Structures are given as structure tokens and as C-alpha cells.
Amino acid sequence: MEVCPLNSSATPGGSGVSGLLFAGLISTLINSQQQLGNPEDYPKDATSQLLPEYDFIIVGGGSAGSVVARRLSEENKWKILLLEAGGDPTASSDIPALIFNIQKTEIDWQYRTEPQPGMCQGLLDKRCNWPRGKALGGSSVINFMMYLRGMKGDYDKWAQDGNYGWSFDEILPFFKKSEDMTYKPLLQSRGNISYHATGGPLTVEKANVDHYKESFQRAVIEMGYEWMEDINEDRQLGFAELFSTVRDGTRCNTAKAFLSPVKDNDNLHVLKHAHVTRLLINERKVAYGVEFKDNNGQIRTVKSKREIIISAGTINSPQILMLSGIGPEDHLKEMGINPIIQNLRVGENLQDHLAFFGSVFNIRDSQISQLPAPNKLDLYYNFLSKRTGLLTQIMATAITGYMKTNISVSDDRPDVQLYFFVLNAKDTDSANLISYVIGYDEATNTSLHKVSEDADLLHVIPALMRPESRGRILLNSSDPFQHPRIFPGYLSDPESKDIKTLLKGIEFSQKFISTKEMMSKQGRRRKLYIKMCDKLDINTRVYWECALRQLGTTIYHPAGTCKMGPESDPTAVVSPELKVHGVKGLRVADASIMPTIVSSNINAPTIMIAEKAADMIRKEWESK
């Protein structure tokens, strides 16, 4: 960044009008930077004010826990305690474009999957990286900020399977309750249903338009797909611009949205860096308290008068339950957990949207490819001074879409979601970041650099929306500070249609690049180096199945490990009211309760689950 002096005195130590302008500019930039990740935006740590007993204790202050804490604290007569293992979101997490930079940092649990045959084979140590947020706001602090709700049929299937109250028509009001939609055209009623709302805590904006958006739009229309104004309504087959949880150019995480407005409430105490070690459950199977390690390293306990709500996420929620004696009996005995409170299939039913980043192309636009790379100082200046520019954009192309393959013929819902991601030519920093975060080995990273030397590098990323394969979370030991073992189970069911479905997604990418629109951008397929697949012909199914098993990885959507279902379902962990079967005073409210994963990014559905959970809790207890 260069500052043009108005006259010869315009130096940092200069005098006169220009000197004052320079000083004012620097002051403005410093003040703007201090507003990022500002601790004053979040509740203060209440460790020194801890009470011996609260009406409700919420474990986990993430995408769900922040919502539950906010809603319960609206009842002034109740005392609420929120326990979060992390601290405040960092300044860098507020900058939308720095998504890859904040992974594998102190606000990320930095989980890695266990090696399993046939999955993650081409990544370091044959393990997939699974980023999960460790801060107030949870994974909403490190995610891609995409606001997608899933399909109507997802929720109707939940209800059909015995989860009364969870059909799409019944949960739509809870999506709307949290939402502050800023894009006015979507606020108009669609027939007899209005799908969006204003005035909620969570800001939802139309994603910033990137350079290639219009070209990609023309290409998918050329392929015969419908271009939709909103992909969050009851139809999803087609493509649309994304909406994102961004507010005034900065990330709107759930702590900022839900906790900041009530940070000074006397009835809400928030403890940060409070790592829950186990739940306290008596011989009558009533959960009455929580044991945790506070930010001073002391083991402490606190009791609840009414309920404990576990909102620690798909990995941590089952870990806490199992450490507390709630889980598969054989596994708990093996880990030395005693006493065993309730034999439930906690940690099973793990699902994720397996994504493939290995379908890559070069594209070139003569209007942009020959321009010099943006000056990074200019980018930060525009962001800090005006909250504008590339740093306000989510780190992906601002469109997404759904296709229905001919594999899942028994279901009329689309089964593959498509994402588009562009790396600028010769952007070595971003290429290194992607390799580091995904876990590419040195040879694949070198290949990524090589294919981006001449022109922009396009990833067309298919993600499997309704996987049939299942994984599992297991304890590593009875030590609550050890990461649990994650077995993602990708492509592990030999009878499933998962491979065939994803191969259809890869076929889409080739048809996409072959459109007249993309050929006008000089689009052409490139081959990443993958050691185990290198000698195979890229035009064969054998190559692409090999590539999927080598580089297929998470799109950051784990769900299902505390499955919701009626008491008659032997695989269910919680009831449709989210109460843990067989244990009183205990609920789970986060993405782990999904019986089947929704067909979209899961942050908005997780917030909906929390809104509905809080509503059920308030209705049950407000008259008692």
C-alpha cells in the first residue's frame, strides 16, 4: 500500500493538514483492526463468579450451544451456565477469506481420522484432517459461512421414521426464527409460504460475486440445469448463488450473533477454556451436574437443578457421554469406564459428506489472467478501512448446485452437491495452504503448483449428499483430554451406491468444462499427481475410483453420532425431544442428533436444531 502525499510534509512525522490526514488514516486503520475479534464483543469469563448450582448447564458454546444459551437466558428467572473448551474467536477468524489460514490453529481441535482401508489413502499418514471449531461459536468460527438448509425431503424422512415434530413444515419456523435475511427479494412470499425472515440474530447476506460467477452460471444453464433464485426453498435441483453468514464484510459466527447481544445478562454465566471431563449421574440415572477443568487447571464440579444440554458437536458430544458411562457397553468396559449408566449406541451412525478435490481444470479469462496479482497490502487496506474487497469474500466461488444421478432411482431428491473453487494462476501461497489443510503429500502439492503455472486452476468438487456407508467415534482411553478415535467409514459399505454416485459427480465436471462457455475460457482437464493412480488412464472408471479412495476427504459436515429416534429404535440415542434414552435431566442438541445427514452444509440446520431444542425446553419448564 502506498499513500500519496498531498505535499512534501505528508510524512508520518509531518505537520499541517497532510500530516493530520495521515495520522487520521493510521488511527482509523488501527481502530478498525481492533474491532476484529474484539473480546468486548463476547461475554466475559465468569470463572470467578461460578455458582454451585444453575437451572441449566450447556456443554459446548458452538453453533448449537450459543443458540441454546441465548434462548434459555431470555427467561430471567433461570440461571444459565455455558461451558466452552475454547476461548474467544480470533481476529483472523473474522476475515471471511482467511478460512484456510485459521485451520490447524488454536481455534481448531485439529482432529484426524484413523487409517482405514480404501479411504484417505493418498493423504499424509493415510488420515483425513477433520477441522472442528474450538472457540465460542464453534465450527461457525472456522467454516465456509455458506447458509444452506437442506432439502424438504430430508426432514420429512426424519418425521416418517418416528421423529414427530421434525417435518420440514414443522422446522421451517425455527430456521426463520434465527434469521436476519438482508436480500429483500427473498422476503416476498412464495405462494402461501414465506421461507425467510428478518430480525433474527443471524445475519444472512447474498455472497459476494466473484469474477467467474457469471461464466459458471451460463455453463450450467447451457447444460440444461435450472438457475434458481433461492436454493433454500422446497426445490433444490439446479444451481444458485450462495447466501452466507457474513455481516458488514466480516464473519457472523453464532457467538457474535447470539451471545454478544446478551453478554451482560446477569443470569448467563459463560466459562471459557472449561474442558468438560464427565457428567455427574446418580444411581437413579438422573444427570445432576458436570465435572470440568477450568482455565486455571483446576478440576471443578457444578450442579444443575433442571437439565444439562450437551451441545459439544458430533465428535465431542459422544465422547462426553461415553466418558460418563453412556454408550456401547462392550466398548465402555474395554475403556475401563465405571459405572456403566446406560447401554446406548453412542458414537455410531457417523456420517459425512465425502468430497473430491481432485477433479481439476485450467481456465483462462483474457480480461483477468494477464493482470498482476493483487497487492496484499491493498487488500488489507480495503478491508480494514472500508470492509470491502476480496477479503470479504468466502473462499469459494459464490454458486453451488445439486444434481440427481440415475443411481438413487428410489429417491427423487438430488444426491450430489457441486462446489466450485478457483485458484489464481501462480498463487503459490494458496496452493500451499490447500495442500497443508487437506493433507496432500509433497508430490501432490508439487503437482498442484505445476498445473496452476499457466492459468487459473478450477476445482469442480462433487460431494456425496446421502452416504450409505457409516463410520464411528470411539474413545481412545478413559482420559478426557485425549482425542477420540474417528473412523469415518467413507466408501466402506461394499453394497452401497456411494462410489457410483460420486463418479457421476466427476462426470458432471467433465461435461461442465466441455460446454461452449467454458471452452471459451480455454478450459481443459488437468491431472494431479497421485502416486497410486499415476499409471492409470485418466479416462477410465478405474482411475477415478482410485483417485476417490486416495484424495476423497471431508467437506466438514460430520453428523449423526447421537442419533435421534423413538424408543422403539434400538440404534437411537435421543428421543424426538432430544432427551437421552434412559437418563433423566439430559439432552443432546447439535448435529450429532441427525438420524440421517441433511443434503447440504450443516451449520444452518445445526442452528435450527438448537432453536427447536430451546423451544422444547422452555415449553416444558416455563410453568414449573
Crossing angle for the helix pair 16-34 and 376-386, to the nearest 10 degrees:
80
Beta carbons within 8 Å of 331's beta carbon, 6+ residues apart: 322, 347, 474, 475
**How many CA atoms does the CB half-sphere of 294 hold within 13 Å?**
15
Strands (E), 285-355: 287-293, 299-310, 326-327, 342-343, 354-355
Residue of 401, 395, 404 whose CA lies nearest to 423? 395
Cell 478450477 found at: 458
Half-sphere exposure (Cβ direction) of 38: Cα atoms closer than 13 Å: 12
Contact indicator for 108, 313 with CB cutoff of 8 Å: no
In the block, cell 478501512 appears at 385
C-alpha 200, offset from chain centre: 20
Whole-number Å distance between alpha carbons of 552 and 391: 28
CA angle 457, 463, 466 (to 5 degrees): 175
- Closest by CA position to 596, among listed 619, 564, 571: 564
Give Cα 60 to chain centroid, integer Å: 15
557 included as an active-site residue: yes
Cα 205 from Cα 186, distance rounded (Å):
11
Residue 464, beta-bridge partner list: 416
Cα–Cα distance for residue pair 19/268, rounded to 1 Å: 47
Provide the b/e sequence for 469-493 (b: ≥16 CB within 10 Å): bbbbbbbeeeebeeebbbbbbbbbe
Is the bond into 339 cis (omega within 30 degrees of 0)?
Answer: yes
Structural contact between residues 574 and 376, judged by C-beta atoms closer than 8 angstroms: no
CA–CA dist 332, 326 (Å, integer): 8
The catalytic residue among 196, 269, 557, 581 is 557
- Alpha-carbon 258 to chain mean position: 17
CA pseudo-torsion sign 611, 615, 616, 620: positive
Catalytic residues: 557
